[in-house]
Amino acid sequence: MNAKLTKWVLAVAVGVTCQSAADAGVEIGDSLKLTIRGVPNDEQQQVNGTYRVGETGALRLPLLTERLPVRGLSADEIATAAENAYRSAGIYKKPTIEVEVISGPDQREGAAVVSVGGQVGRAGGVPYRKGLTLMQALHAAGDRNAFGGRNINVFRGKKVIRLDYRKAEHKNFELLPEDSIIVDPKGAFEFDRG
């Protein structure tokens, strides 16, 4: 590492360490509103929404296979990290992301959520409760919109579970906290799953 880069890294580290407690960044359980621009409108619907910082201090964002570590970061730092993650994954070339912290220290004991995005009425978090099914989560998110297809992806850890909404057993698929649901758009490439 060259001397200039080392000095810059140290300066950033000192700056982050010296933040006041009020400006310490997000913590586990905080809720964030994320808005993306610079991508096609239908894809904005997949990403825009409310997300909860999970027990690992990270966010699960649609289309990304890895969780985004955000604990201790400011809203601007989270926005930059999310933009970089989407670019690095080759998903978007020039995303512009805005992040707003919508719940903080006084609401950190909130319930777990399931993130719902894609072609739904209201993308965002749905409060998790034991036994929550795919159909219940989609209804809570305003159901599939006019463009919502039958193919649905549930992101769980590093796994992607592909479901077909026309099948009763898939509608009754039981969700877990921090699952992320994406409803694919209707199209010629819809196919039978499982």
Q: Which are the contacts of 6, defined by CB distance < 8 A and separation ≥ 6? A: none
Report d(CA 126, CA 21) in Å as an integer. 30
Question: Residue 111 carries which DSSP code?
Answer: P
Eight-class DSSP state of 20: -
**Per-residue model confidence as pLDDT tens digits over 151-178:** 999 999 889 999 998 998 999 999 998 8
- Which pLDDT score, from 0 to 100, does residue 19 have? 36
Same domain, 78 and 149: no
Average pLDDT estimate for 67-82:
93
Q: Which of 110, 125, 150 is the last residue of a domain?
A: 110
Q: Which of 75, 110, 145 is the last residue of a domain?
A: 110
- Whole-angstrom CA distances from 95 to 63, 117, 119, 139, 166 are 13, 17, 19, 29, 33
| CATH code assigned at 193 | 3.10.560.10
Average pLDDT for 26-42: 87
Domain count, the chain: 2
Q: Which tokens sit at 162? A: 């592909």
Instruction: Assess whether 101 and 137 both reside in one domain.
Output: no
Residues 105, 12 share a domain: yes
Q: Cα–Cα distances in Å, from 53 out to 31, 62, 104?
A: 6, 14, 11
Per DSSP, the three-state class of 42 is helix
| Alpha-carbon 5 to chain mean position | 32
Query: Of the candidates 110, 138, 156, which is a domain's last residue?
Result: 110
Q: Would you call 91 exposed, middle or buried from its count of C-beta atoms within 10 A (0-12, 13-18, 19+)?
A: middle
**Which residue, among 153, 152, 154, 147, has the nearest Cα to 187 in the 3D structure?**
147
Q: What is the CATH number of the domain that holds 18?
A: 3.30.1950.10
Question: pLDDT grade, residue 54 (50/70/90)?
Answer: confident
5 with 100, same domain: the answer is yes
Are residues 106 and 124 both part of a single domain?
A: no
- In this structure, the answer to whether residues 11 and 93 fall within a common structural domain is yes
Q: Between these two residues, 100 and 78, which has the higher pLDDT value?
A: 78
Q: Which residue has the higher pLDDT, 178 or 3?
A: 178
Claim to verify: residue 24 and residue 75 sit in the same structural domain: yes
Q: Which domain range does residue 172 map to?
A: 111-194
Residues 75 and 6 in one domain: yes
Answer for the pair 151, 184: CB distance below 8 angstroms, yes or no. yes
